[in-house]
């Protein structure tokens, strides 16, 4: 692992001009702007002190429940595609660097993109909430403190590590987008079935629902969901790196 930092900086350079990097900016920005547009168009004459909170909650809910699990799958697929598409494995894996270092650096590059997109989202929510406050002065200032938003988004992106690690493993293992896409869609579909059915523990600890479970500090499974997302992500990531570094790429 002594070569991890150079390998990481190389991964960073590879992300330049990629769709993955553009999506990390555009995905959260579009979600924020969509919800902002909906709230700007609302005609709450009297105003409500809860509206700004509602704006933040709706944005974060759409992000953590629907967009983020798909985004994690997309990031994993796009990072893997950088090597798969041009068969650069044969160059990369012939270099005098331990193979696990290469896969760990890819895993960290993806995690960094997830954290970066979360940062963009949280910043977007705080900035647009300020804009809404100016546009709709009657809505008051009851928005949760910015620090709470950043904290919630950060924790939910940490809880997404498990989903990301699963998707990364699949994306690196198979050249085709299809297996990763099928798993992502199935995961989301199961989440929408599992959560409303009220099997609380299972629904809360299902990997695709972990980001949403960590958004609210009042959720009884908040700590377990966060721990599972983080530790499970690291564990699955480690097993994936071990497995991939032993595979033959030909």
Binding site for other proteins (CB under 8 A): 3, 6-7, 9-10, 13-14, 16-18, 82, 86-99, 248-250
CB of 98 to other proteins, least distance (A): 6
Q: 134 or 250, CB closer to other proteins?
A: 250
Closest CA to 75 of 42, 111, 31: 111
Sign of CA dihedral 169, 171, 174, 179: positive
CB of 157 to other proteins, least distance (A): 26
Q: 82 or 234, CB closer to other proteins?
A: 82
CB of 249 to other proteins, least distance (A): 6
Q: 45 or 246, CB closer to other proteins?
A: 246
Q: How many residues does the chain have?
A: 250
- DSSP output for 168-236: HHHHHH-SSSHHHHHHHHHHHHHHHHHHHHT-HHHHHHSGGGHHHHTT-TT-TTHHHHHHHHHHHHHHH
- Measured distance CA(38)–CA(237) in Å, rounded: 38
CB of 81 to other proteins, least distance (A): 11
Contact 129, 33 (CB under 8 A): no
- Structural tokens at position 124: 């977007």
CB of 113 to other proteins, least distance (A): 16
Q: 7 or 132, CB closer to other proteins?
A: 7
Q: 17 or 45, CB closer to other proteins?
A: 17
Give 17's contacts (C-beta < 8 A, 6+ positions apart).
Answer: none
């Amino acid at each position: 692992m002594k070569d991890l930092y150079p390998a990481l900086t190389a991964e960073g350079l590879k992300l330049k001009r990629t769709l993955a990097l553009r999506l990390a900016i555009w995905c959260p920005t579009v979600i924020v702007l969509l919800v902002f547009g909906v709230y700007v168009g609302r005609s709450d004459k009297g105003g409500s002190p809860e509206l700004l909170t509602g704006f933040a909650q709706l944005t974060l809910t759409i992000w953590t429940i629907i967009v983020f699990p798909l985004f994690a799958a997309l990031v994993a697929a796009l990072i893997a595609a950088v090597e798969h598409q041009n068969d650069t494995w044969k160059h990369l894996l012939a270099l005098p660097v331990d193979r696990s270092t290469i896969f760990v650096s890819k895993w960290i590059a993806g995690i960094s993109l997830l954290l970066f997109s979360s940062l963009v989202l949280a910043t977007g929510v705080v900035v647009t909430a300020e804009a809404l406050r100016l546009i709709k002065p009657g809505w008051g200032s009851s928005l949760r403190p910015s620090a709470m938003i950043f904290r919630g988004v950060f924790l939910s992106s940490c809880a997404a590590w498990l989903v990301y690690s699963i998707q990364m493993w699949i994306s690196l293992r198979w050249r085709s987008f299809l297996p990763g896409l099928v798993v992502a869609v199935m995961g989301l579909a199961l989440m929408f079935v599992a959560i409303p059915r009220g099997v609380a523990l299972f629904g809360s600890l299902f990997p695709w629902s972990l980001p949403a479970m960590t958004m609210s500090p009042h959720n009884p499974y908040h700590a377990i969901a966060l721990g599972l997302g983080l530790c499970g992500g690291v564990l699955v990531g480690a097993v994936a790196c071990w497995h991939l570094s032993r595979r033959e790429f030909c």
